[in-house]
Structure 1
Amino acid sequence: MSDLFDSMTGAVTSGSSATPREPASVLESPSLFGPDTEAGSATAYEVKFLLGEDQVREIVGRVAGHLALDPYADPARGNAYQTTSVYTDTPTFDVFHRTDGYDRDKFRVRRYGAAGPVFVERKSKNGDKVRKHRSKIDAREVADLAAAALNGEWAGEWFHSQLIEKQLRPICRVAYERVAYLGTADGGTVRVTFDRNIRGVLADQWALEAVGTGAPVLTDRVVCEFKFRTAMPALLKGIVADLNLVPARFSKYRNFVLSTGLVPVAAPAESAGAQARDREAADV
């Protein structure tokens, strides 16, 4: 994690600016890239922290004056909105086990809000770097992902092709309440998110019904993410230093799978490396 460590620990310069230059409604997450972006050229980072509510209030107080609330923010829900994702894996859980060929790309369907926009998405990791590519589809088209073949004219065709090629299927639906801030700092787009009430249900169908209560994935902490390109801006770097924040690995998908027993925890006879991979909850 040397690149990421360097981006977090560099000096904070007094000339750094954290004033939004564009409204959040016209900005996109720093980790979003075009479909042809090479993994090695993606320079986005998503740094996670597991925080208590006192720490969250401190961070919100420091970013709210510089970043705008996400366009999906619902004032009636304390500026939060529900996010629901259908996670995919193979029948033998190759994504979970990070089998060769499945260790960098993760495919999911995501909806913002209870009845908001739906996206098919590929998330790729190359070392510390992250890139995402997604396409918006109609909610009624989610069921089409179960088809054996499509006509090639659909926005989600590339996603469907990858499902067929990699033998991916729905495994679970995970939902949570997110509060997000978006803007620019030090000349680049910055996004800060806070996820609460993470819960999930098993799913073997292409559908985005409400998760409801579901099985809790994380109850006593808030998952906070700092998202930026190239280097952590001074605004966020100062927060990390002043609050002594320590990055944490956490995957909603992996933690749900482990909590439900879908995949057994590595047995003692297995290698230390294999056990470490199963314990590590890197983002999926």
Structure 2
Amino acid sequence: MRWPFGRRGVPPAVAPGTPAPEGTGVPAASNDDHVGHALRAPSKLHAFNRYEIKYLMPVTALPALRGELDRRLDRDSHGSDGGYGVWSTYYDTRDLRFYWEKIEGLKFRRKLRIRHYGDRFGVGDDTTVFVEIKQRVNRVTQKRRVALPYARALDLCDRRDMVEHEPGQGPFLQEVLGLVNRLDLRPVAMTGYQREAFVGRGAEAGLRVTIDQRLRGRDRDFHLGADTENRLIIPARLAVVEFKANERVPYWLTDLAAELNLSVARISKYCQSVEAYGRAPRSIFHVPDTDTAADHDLASARSSTKD
């Protein structure tokens, strides 16, 4: 489905207790979640491909979903007791090229972001963050990223200076720097949310299910640790649920989605934040950030499985 109005113009180790990034799907040696995280931890260049299916659901339905996931999957060790924070600063062009590529559903599209897992209020120059290029090629999501101290990540993406790095990271960092310079990228939006995660075991070691709640965003004060105001970009009574797999999502999981009456939603947290702050007209995929359209939130966010 097209936009109806047309297009406009290895680094320092992660500190103990810091949630690991999304998995590569490398089979774990045991059901010990810490083993899985060790295999998923960032190398000098961390890269993987996977399929992702995204749903929007009322938080009142989450207990039923959690109960079924607990029967089949392991809890991410960082996903208990309310989960962990995920904060991202997104970069885009002056005319929001990456935003429009998503809205128009281009088969190849990408975005650049700096991401932090954990408590954002403790973020400082030496905090480990991830500089990431996420791109979509047809139906496959590809991610490449490296971990850097936050000060170096800002040097690279904001000040456009090549930074000291470990062997093997250079080509990716040069690509990031070239992208920032060629497209004149700058911070555009920030998103943050609380995440619970479930991981597969055994033959399903590459499977991951995430539940994101309290989705917020802002359009200024882009330092990850800034003590500043954020706005809900999706009503607090709704959660974003994602199924992520290396090859295919198992039938039991898609059957569970059908039992819970979930429909695939073409929703982007980045686009939600851009639209919530009026940086672009709200698309047909926007989920209202207030409860004024309570009866229409889910219907307006649903689409075909095209995306």
State the TM-score, normalizing by the size of structure 2.
0.68
In 2, the alpha carbon distance for the partners of 1:200 and 1:36 equals: 26
Q: Which runs of 5+ in 2 are unaligned?
A: 2-27, 284-300
Distance 1:23 1:212, change over 3 A: farther
1:243 aligned partner: 260
Task: Indicate which of 264, 278, 295 corresponds to 1:261.
Answer: 278
The equivalences for 1:189-228 within 5 A come to 189-203=206-220, 205=222, 207-210=223-226, 213-219=229-235, 220-228=237-245
Q: Secondary structure at the match of 2:206?
A: strand
In 2, the alpha carbon distance for the partners of 1:20 and 1:222 equals: 32
AA in 2 matched with 1:132: K
AA in 1 matched with 2:233: V
2:87 aligned partner: 84
2:97 aligned partner: 94
Task: Indicate which of 19, 33, 39 corresponds to 1:24.
Answer: 33
In 1, the alpha carbon distance for the partners of 2:185 and 2:49 equals: 27
In 1, the alpha carbon distance for the partners of 2:255 and 2:227 equals: 37
1:252 aligned partner: 269
2:112 aligned partner: 107
Contact kept, 8 Å, 2:54 with 2:267, in 1: the verdict is yes
In 2, the alpha carbon distance for the partners of 1:187 and 1:280 equals: 28
2:131 aligned partner: 120
Aligned alpha-carbon RMSD (Å) = 3.6
Contact kept, 8 Å, 1:95 with 1:102, in 2: the verdict is no
Q: Deviations over 1:234-261 (max 9, x none)?
A: 3313312322321111111111111211
In 2, the alpha carbon distance for the partners of 1:57 and 1:214 equals: 27
Deviation at 1:93, TM superposition (A): 0.9
Q: Secondary structure at the match of 1:46?
A: strand
Deviation at 1:147, TM superposition (A): 2.3
Identity of aligned residues (%): 26
2:56 aligned partner: 50
Deviation at 1:140, TM superposition (A): 3.0
Contact kept, 8 Å, 2:213 with 2:239, in 1: the verdict is yes
Q: Secondary structure at the match of 2:154?
A: helix
In 1, the alpha carbon distance for the partners of 2:271 and 2:240 equals: 14
Higher relative contact order (CA closer than 8 Å, sequence separation 6+): 1
Contact kept, 8 Å, 2:108 with 2:137, in 1: the verdict is no
Distance 1:253 1:141, change over 3 A: same
Task: Indicate which of 246, 249, 253 corresponds to 1:229.
Answer: 246
Q: Which runs of 5+ in 1 are unaligned?
A: 2-18, 267-278
In 2, the alpha carbon distance for the partners of 1:235 and 1:134 equals: 31
Q: Deviations over 1:97-154 (max 9, x none)?
A: 1199995111111000014741111111112211111111112323313223325646
In 2, the alpha carbon distance for the partners of 1:227 and 1:136 equals: 22
Deviation at 1:174, TM superposition (A): 1.0
Distance 1:95 1:230, change over 3 A: same
State the TM-score, normalizing by the size of structure 1.
0.73
Deviation at 1:86, TM superposition (A): 0.1
Q: Secondary structure at the match of 1:225?
A: strand
1:147 is aligned to 2:159: yes
Q: Number of residue pairs matched?
A: 245
1:60 is aligned to 2:66: yes
Deviation at 1:230, TM superposition (A): 1.5
